[in-house]
């Protein structure tokens, strides 16, 4: 467990493909203005991380809700619910469909009405112009981005990446700036205007969330940003996918 602000902690976990390649995963803990806690995403903690979480949150009793924001991150939901059976459990539509035996709260976190439950503490953003769940279930571009209002830290799964070398190399080589998901072309809605909608969404969060000091990105790394780094790096990330967007415009109008 790593503390990034007075009210924000991150957990970095393992997610291995074929038991060899560790893509990594994460979970964040936010202390609300009322002193209670929220978990962003789910991860089956053990050892020191589990002890630290329980110590900070009165044995877990101070955690009010678990908010799962990526439709394809379902693996650890059951374990977190077993650890915190009292916490309200929120997820996307796909969470409800894939893990049917859990007591999900009504409403889906990609919907604005559900997000309003936490609006006093968290800001949310859903990418526009892309399929939230693609027909090809290997494409995991979309998620609900979350920004803690007190610390301004952004928690994001897959939609925005930070590329970093694995293991010891990650401590020696510089991490990348913020990047949009490399499978963006496969996620864009097959309709006229989708590329423009995506670009407008990116420009909107670049401005609305300017001043973000840290980005916690799943599968990759924590990016500590320089002053105005969020706005600049989102702008650069958008410029880097302009070829993809232009190709989509040519094909779909």
pLDDT digits (tens, 9 = 90+) for 57-100: 999 999 999 999 999 988 889 999 999 999 999 999 999 999 99
pLDDT band at 37 (very low <50, low <70, confident <90, very high): very high
Q: What is the DSSP letter of 130?
A: B
Q: Which two tokens stand for residue 140?
A: 């995991």
Are 172 and 25 in contact by the 8 Å Cβ rule? The answer is: no
- pLDDT beyond 50 at 191: yes
CA atoms within 13 A on the CB side of 27: 25
Helix (H) or strand (E) holding 112: helix 112-115
Q: What is the pTM of this model?
A: 0.91
Instruction: Quote the distance between the C-alpha of residue 14 and its chain's center.
Output: 16
130: left (phi over 0), alpha (psi -120 to 50) or beta: beta
- pLDDT the model gives residue 219: 63
Catalogue all structural domains in the chain, each as residue range(s) with its CATH number. 2-252 (3.60.15.10)
- pLDDT beyond 70 at 21: no
Q: Average pLDDT, stretch 136-157?
A: 95
Find, among 38, 34, 28, the residue nearest to 3 by Cα. 28
- pLDDT the model gives residue 144: 97
Find, among 115, 245, 131, the residue nearest to 187 by Cα. 131
Query: Maximum distance among all alpha carbons in the chain?
Result: 56
Evaluate the CA torsion angle 223, 227, 230, 233 in order and state its sign: negative
- pLDDT beyond 90 at 54: yes
Distances (CA, A) of 78 to 28, 73, 199: 17, 12, 36
CA atoms within 13 A on the CB side of 200: 7
Question: CA–CA separation, 117 vs 9, rounded Å?
Answer: 21
- pLDDT the model gives residue 36: 98
């Amino acid at each position: 467990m790593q503390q990034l602000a007075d009210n924000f902690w991150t957990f970095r976990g393992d997610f291995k493909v074929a038991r060899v390649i560790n893509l990594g995963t994460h979970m964040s803990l936010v202390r609300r203005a009322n002193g209670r806690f929220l978990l962003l995403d789910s991860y089956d903690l053990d050892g020191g991380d589990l002890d630290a979480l329980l110590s900070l949150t009165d044995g877990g009793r101070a955690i009010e809700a678990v908010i799962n924001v990526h439709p394809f991150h379902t693996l650890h939901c059951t374990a977190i619910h077993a650890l915190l059976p009292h916490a309200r459990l929120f997820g996307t539509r796909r969470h409800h469909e894939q893990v049917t035996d859990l007591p999900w709260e009504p409403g889906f976190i990609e919907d604005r009405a559900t997000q309003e439950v936490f609006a006093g503490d968290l800001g949310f953003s859903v990418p526009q112009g892309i399929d939230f769940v693609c027909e090809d279930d290997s494409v995991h571009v979309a998620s609900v981005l979350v920004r803690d209002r007190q610390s301004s830290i952004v928690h994001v799964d897959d939609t925005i990446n930070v590329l970093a070398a694995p293991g010891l190399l990650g401590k020696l080589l510089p991490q990348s700036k913020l990047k949009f998901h490399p499978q963006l072309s496969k996620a864009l809605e097959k309709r006229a205007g989708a590329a423009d909608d995506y670009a407008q969404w990116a420009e909107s969060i670049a401005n609305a969330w300017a001043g973000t000091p840290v980005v916690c990105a799943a599968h990759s790394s924590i990016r500590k940003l320089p002053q105005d780094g969020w706005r600049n790096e989102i702008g650069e990330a958008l410029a880097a996918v302009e070829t993809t967007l232009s190709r989509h415009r040519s094909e779909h109008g």
